[in-house]
Amino acid sequence: MSEFIIQVKNLTKIYGGDGVETRALDGVSFTIQKGEFVAIIGPSGSGKSTLMQLIGLLDRPTSGEYFFEGENSLNFSENELANIRNKKIGFVFQTFNLLPRTTVFENVELPLLYDRHLSGKEKNKEKIIKALEEVMMSHRIGHHPNQLSGGEKQRVAIARALVNNPDIIFADEPTGNLDSKAGVQVMKILQKLNHQGHTIILVTHENYTAQHAQRVIEMKDGKIISDKKTENQAKARDGIRLK
């Protein structure tokens, strides 16, 4: 039984402007099954972030097809896209993107405020605390981002990505601004979330970081040049529980 959460066919993205065209993605095709932990690796400029923007439904391709949970992404209205990004996808970025003048609690609350007719305050509070507990940050609920270390900021950002219990978490260079110890901690959290059933798609330029995934897709000049299972794959096959 295979269930594709992501299926892309011949995806191309050309950035224009000032007469100079950049072919950031050049005919990329692959599928990702529900529950996989995939790393997308490649040197700077190889198209990793562009690919993540497209499969994260933040941008549209120049050509090619993208099926999200089996549905052609062209069929989604802007409203539906916004809803999917809020409910089914969690994003984690290299620069954390936390709001500086709000608390840890309020940062994690943000995705819940998007949906105004959602459950009451108490229910939201429970979700926020649970998400912060998953990343071992519930003791810092009233802190502001500038009172946290880089690793702690990224853990809060992961809690924010997690608060709506998304099917997929996209993480673009999540350890890029962290020291190695904090980086390993972030990778271990992503592995734990994967074991809980979340599909994880990680972008990195570090081979070491990529080895935390079960599968590594390697990019160069906008193309996929390899797609291989890591040693974690066998372990995952035996232990994984799908959501």
Q: Which residues bind Mg ion (CB under 5 A)?
A: 48-49
User: Is residue 151 near ligand ADP by the rule CB under 6 A?
Assistant: no
Rounded CA gap, 150 and 181, in Å? 11
The option from Mg ion, ligand ADP, none interacting with 22 (CB < 5 to 8 A, set by class) reads: ligand ADP
Residues between 27 and 46 that touch ligand ADP (CB under 6 A): 42, 44-46
Q: Contact between 48 and ligand ADP (CB under 6 A)?
A: yes
Which one of residues 3, 15, 31, 206 is an interface residue with ligand ADP (CB under 6 A)?
15
Q: Is 203 left (phi over 0), alpha (psi -120 to 50) or beta?
A: beta
Measured from the CB atom, the residue of 46 and 73 that comes closer to ligand ADP is 46
Least distance (Å) between residue 65 CB and ligand ADP: 19
**How many angstroms separate the CA atoms of 137 and 152, rounded?**
7
Q: Is the Cβ of residue 108 or residue 219 nearer to Mg ion in the bound state?
A: 219
Q: Which is nearer to ligand ADP, 15 or 208 (CB)?
A: 15
Inter-CA distances, 118 with 42, 121, 122, 124, 169, Å: 40, 9, 11, 9, 22
Q: Which does 90 bind (CB under 5 to 8 A by kind): ligand ADP, Mg ion, none?
A: none
Residue 22 binds to ligand ADP (criterion: CB under 6 A): yes
Give the residue, chosen from 49, 175, 194, 230, that forms a contact with ligand ADP under the rule CB under 6 A: 49
The only residue of 50, 164, 199, 204 in contact with ligand ADP, by rule CB under 6 A: 50
Neighbour count for residue 120 (Cβ, 10 Å): 7
CB closer to ligand ADP out of 52 and 193: 52
> Residue 115 or residue 227: which is nearer to ligand ADP going by CB?
227
Closest separation in Å from C-beta 213 to ligand ADP: 16
The only residue of 5, 6, 11, 24 in contact with ligand ADP, by rule CB under 6 A: 24
Binding site for ligand ADP (CB under 6 A): 15, 22, 24, 42, 44-50
